[in-house]
Amino acid sequence: MREIRVVPRRDFRVPVEAEKISPDIFAPLTIEEIRKVEVWEGNRKQALIDLFEISGDGDPAKPEEVLIKLDGNFSRVKRVGEKMTCGRIGALGDIGMHAGNGMAGGEIAIKGSAGDWLGREMRGGKITVRGDAGDYVGAGYRGEACGMRGGEILIEGSAGDYLGEHLCGGTITVLGNAGDFPGIANRGGVIVIGGDAHLPGAEMASGTITVRGRARVLPSYQYQETVEIDGLSLKKFLGDLVDNGKGELRVASVEERGA
């Protein structure tokens, strides 16, 4: 594995857009060349070296053999790992918005928390977050019919609103709670939420959403039966019937319907 370490020189106030921090981009470059890769700090184009210290194995390698280690506060560094196809990115702390945008393969492992739009329009690969994630995990771009189409996202903490909006494939697992409208307009993806959620599966056409905690269920969902999954008794619903959806929603504890 070729390891490259990226360390912010300071805390950023203005966010840095760094879609070029990606194994695919770094792989063919020497460390010297990586230092010259361009990123944006607000409206200023900067060389990576102006904002980050870059160290590690100097020689080019295949992208699948590249590991990029992000050490420090990356909470305002956006679009890391965008469109990456292989290799690994490991963040020791938090990471900013749009990490793993349109990612097709490889792995991003985040020890801290992730900003909004984590894995937006993701197609493959794996993202794991030890902490929490923001809104729109695995969602789409505004107006598009599809968000995430494939791959896997695991969040050990909680996630924000609109988890997996317009999900067209892939799996999202949240061990903690999800916010409002997880799995809205789901079109075939799989979502598992360990804790609670508010109005899951609105306008779901297909796919499954499992809430192992408590959830408020929409009046457009039809109760079917109680099922046993992984030792937990879950109420199974069909919906979202406003759109003749055939999605499956399973909830352990249903907030009193109608209240």
Partner 1 sequence: MIIKGGFVYDPANGVYGEEMDISIEGGKVVEESRDGKEIDALGMLVMPGGVDAHAHIAGAKVNCGRIMRPEDGRRGIEPKTKLLRPQTGYTVPNCYAVGYRYARLGYTCAFEAATPILESRHTHEELEEIPIIDKGALTLFGNNWEVLECVRDGDLDKLAAFISWGLSASRGYGVKVVNPGGGEAWGFGGNVKGIDDPVPNFGVTPREIIRGLMKANEILRLPHSVHLHTNNLGKPGNYETTLATLKAVEDIAATRDRQVLHVTHMQFSAYGGTGWRDFESKAPEIADYFNSHAQFTMDMGQLIFGSATTMTADAPLEYGNARLLHAKWSNHDIELEESSGVVPLVYGRKMPINAIQWAIGLELALLTKNPWQVIMTTDHPNGGPFVNYPEVIALLMSRAKREEELASLHELASKRSSLPSIEREMDWNDIAIVTRAAPAKILGLPEKGHLGLGADGDVAIYDINPTDLDPSKDHSKVKEAFAKAKYTIKGGEVVVRDGEVVAVPQGRTYWVDASVPEDQAAKVKADLVEKFAKYYSIQMSNYMVQDAYVTHPRVVKAGVI
Partner 2 sequence: MIVEDVLCPFCGCLCDDIKVEVEDDKIVGVKRACRLGSSKILGHERTKAPMVRVDGELVETTYEEAYDRTARILKGAKRPLLYGWCSTVCETHKKGILLAEEVGGVIDSTATVCHGPSIIGIEEKGLAGSTLGQIKNRADLIVFWGANPAEAHPRHTMRYSSNSSGMFTPEGRRGRKVIVVDVRETRTAKNADKFLLIRPGTDYEVISALRMIVADKGDLVPDYVAGVAKADLEEVAGIMKAAKFGALLFGLGMTHSRGRYKNVDNALSLVADLNGFTKFVVMAMRGHYNVAGFGQVSAWETGFPMSVDFSRGAPYFNPGETAACDLLARKEADAMMVVAADPASNFPRMTVEGMAEIPVIQIDPFPNPTTLLADVVIPSAVCGVEAEGTAYRMDGLSLRMKKVVDSPYPTDEEIIQNILDRVRRLGDDN
Partner 3 sequence: MMISGRTLGQGATSEAKMSTEFFRATSFCALSELDYNALGVSEGGNVLVRTKFGEVVVSAKKDKGLPSGVIFIPMGPWANALVGPETGGCGTPQFKGVEAEVEETKMVVLDVRELFADLKAGAETS
Chain contacts with partner 3 (rule: CB under 8 A): 116, 134-136, 160-162, 180
Nearer to partner 2, 78 or 88 (CB): 78
Q: Is the dihedral of CA 55, 78, 19, 127 positive or negative?
A: positive
Q: How far is the CB of 219 from partner 3 (least distance, A)?
A: 19
- What's the rounded Cα separation, in Å, for the pair 40 and 35? 14
| 79 CA to centre of own chain | 11
DSSP at 243: G
Report what 226 binds from partner 1, partner 3, partner 2, none; CB cut-off 5-8 Å by kind.
Answer: none
Nearer to partner 1, 72 or 239 (CB): 239
Specify which residues 172 forms β-bridges with: 153, 191
Q: How far is the CB of 141 from partner 1 (least distance, A)?
A: 6
Residue 45 binds to partner 1 (criterion: CB under 8 A):
no
Q: Which stretch binds partner 2 (CB under 8 A): 23-31, 42-50, 55-63, 80-88?
A: 42-50
Contacts of 100 (CB under 8 A, 6+ apart): 80, 81, 82, 84, 108, 118, 119, 120, 122, 125, 127
Q: How far is the CB of 246 from partner 1 (least distance, A)?
A: 14
Binding mask 162-181 for partner 2 (x = CB under 8 A): ------------------xx
Report what 14 binds from partner 2, partner 1, partner 3, none; CB cut-off 5-8 Å by kind.
Answer: partner 2
Specify which residues 223 forms β-bridges with: 237
Nearer to partner 2, 26 or 117 (CB): 117
Closest to 221 measured CA to CA, from 183, 166, 177, 173: 183
Q: Which stretch binds partner 1 (CB under 8 A): 3-11, 81-89, 140-148, 228-236?
A: 140-148
Q: How far is the CB of 136 from partner 2 (least distance, A)?
A: 7
Instruction: Tell me how far CA of residue 258 lies from CA of 203, 216, 242, in angstroms.
Output: 19, 10, 17
Residue 144 binds to partner 1 (criterion: CB under 8 A):
yes
Instruction: Tell me how far CA of residue 52 lies from CA of 16, 66, 118, 167, 231, in angstroms.
Output: 11, 18, 22, 34, 48
Among 219, 229, 232, 233, binds partner 2 (CB under 8 A): 219
Q: How far is the CB of 218 from partner 2 (least distance, A)?
A: 5
DSSP 178-230: --BSTTTT-EEEEEEESS-EESTTTT--EEEEEEEEEEE--TT-EEEEEEEET
Residue 43 binds to partner 1 (criterion: CB under 8 A):
no
- What's the rounded Cα separation, in Å, for the pair 23 and 2? 10
**Residues binding partner 1 (CB under 8 A):** 141-144
**Residues binding partner 2 (CB under 8 A):** 13-15, 17, 40-44, 76, 97, 116-117, 135-136, 142-143, 180-181, 184-185, 199, 202-203, 216, 218-220, 222, 240-243, 257-259
